[in-house]
Chain A
Amino acid sequence: GQQVMQIPQYQHVQEGEDFTTYCNSSTTLSNIQWYKQRPGGHPVFLIQLVKSGEVKKQKRLTFQFGEAKKNSSLHITATQTTDVGTYFCAGPDRDNFNKFYFGSGTKLNVKP
C-alpha cells in the first residue's frame, strides 16, 4: 500500500508564529488531500491538490503540491488558538485508486 509520511510529528508555537507541515510520498500521487482534526473531533476536509506545482490559499493557510507530485506542504501564517489540532495529508493508493491512506499527521499546539 501507499505510505505517506509527515513531519514534524508535533509542533508547539506561540500564537502569531507561522507553522508548516510537510507530507512526503515514496511514489507519485495523482492527488493529495488535507484534513484537520480538532482534539476530540473528527477529520474535516480542507482542500485537494491535483496539479503539479499547484498552490492554493484559504485565508491564512497555503497548500502546495510539489512539482514531482511526491510531496506537499501546508503553511499557516500567524497561527491562532483556533488552529490547534492535528493536520493530516492523505493520498491515494498506487494500486487501487479507490482508497487512500492518511499520513501520520502533525499535531499543532498554539500557546496564547
Chain B
Amino acid sequence: DTEVTQTPKHLVMGMTNKKSLKCEQHMGHRAMYWYKQKAKKPPELMFVYSYEKLSINESVPSRFSPECPNSSLLNLHLHALQPEDSALYLCASSQTGNSNQPQHFGDGTRLSIL
C-alpha cells in the first residue's frame, strides 16, 4: 500500500493532446516532487514544490507544467509531448523538502506518447 496516490496509472496520448497527471498525499508533508524514470534507469528529478511554492525546476522543457493547488495535491500538466517523453512519472513527498528526509513515492503513471 502506498500513502501517495497517483492517477491515472496508465496514460496513452498523442503528441497534440493535453492531459494532466495527478498526485495526492495526506501525510501532512509540505514538499512534493515529480520524477521521470525511463526503463532500467534511476528516477530523475524534475520539479520540487516546498510549502506549495516551486523551489526546484531541473531545466524541464516547458511542455511539462507543474502545479501545486494545495499542500496535499500536485499536478503535472502535459502538452505537445514527444515520443521520448514516454516513461514512468513518479510523484513523491517528504516532510519539508530537506534531503535528509525520506521520500515516499506513489505507484507512478506509465505514460506512452504515440
Q: Assess whether B100 is in contact with A99, with CB atoms less than 8 Å apart.
A: no
Chain B residues with CB under 8 Å of A105's CB are 41-42
> Which of B90, B97, B100 sits near A42, CB closer than 8 Å?
B90
Does A93 have its Cβ within 8 Å of any Cβ on chain B? yes
Q: Answer yes or no: B66 CB below 8 A from chain A CBs.
A: no
Partner of A30, one of B42, B100, B102: B100
Which A residues are CB-close (under 8 A) to B106? 42
Instruction: Pick the interface stretch among A12-20, A44-52, A54-62, A67-75.
Output: A44-52
What bracket does the count of chain A residues touching chain B fall in? 20 to 34
Q: Which residues of B contact A (CB under 8 A)?
A: 2, 40-45, 48, 50, 55-56, 58, 90, 92, 97-100, 102-108
**Contact sample, A vs B, 10 pairs, CB 8 Å cutoff:** A31-B100, A45-B103, A50-B100, A91-B99, A92-B100, A96-B56, A97-B100, A98-B56, A102-B42, A102-B44
